[in-house]
Amino acid sequence: MRTVEHDGDSYLLVKRSEESSLVRDPETGEERYLPNDELVAAGDPPLALSARRVPEPTRRLLTAVRSERALGVLLELDERGPLSVRTVLGEYDLCESDLHGLFGEFRAAGLVAETEVDGERGYRLTDRGREGLAALRP
């Protein structure tokens, strides 16, 4: 499968004939025919374009969370609010290097932010992180 553009929008190319091509909107799943001479090859990988049907905050969460422990840390931040580094190290089964690795990845993904908790360095869930988790809950 390839990606194409039409009037600035990206589509997945489903089927091509002589005059027109069947394309799929990656966000809605809607399919329609467009004239071949109006389509331009796009550089987006087709599977990455397909993934755009999942809301952006949830995509970020899914790509940043690599284990149940990592997911658990985000859920704890969501339920308990900001936590100090000392609290996380003392109450959960994370060593210091694991904690800094996880929070480094989460910060890079925009899921958590550094904050101060009771005068100590800590982390809080961002709005993006909260939105990503909300989509996973029943």
Nearest-angstrom CA–CA distance, 81 and 83: 6
Instruction: Write down all domains in the chain, each with its CATH number in brackets.
Output: 2-53 (2.30.30), 56-136 (1.10.10.10)
Residue 14 neighbours by CB under 8 Å, 6+ apart: 1, 21, 22, 23, 24, 31
Mean pLDDT of residues grouped by 10 in the chain (138 residues)?
A: 90 93 91 94 86 89 92 95 94 91 95 96 96 90
Q: What's the whole-model pTM score?
A: 0.74
How many residues make up the chain in this entry? 138
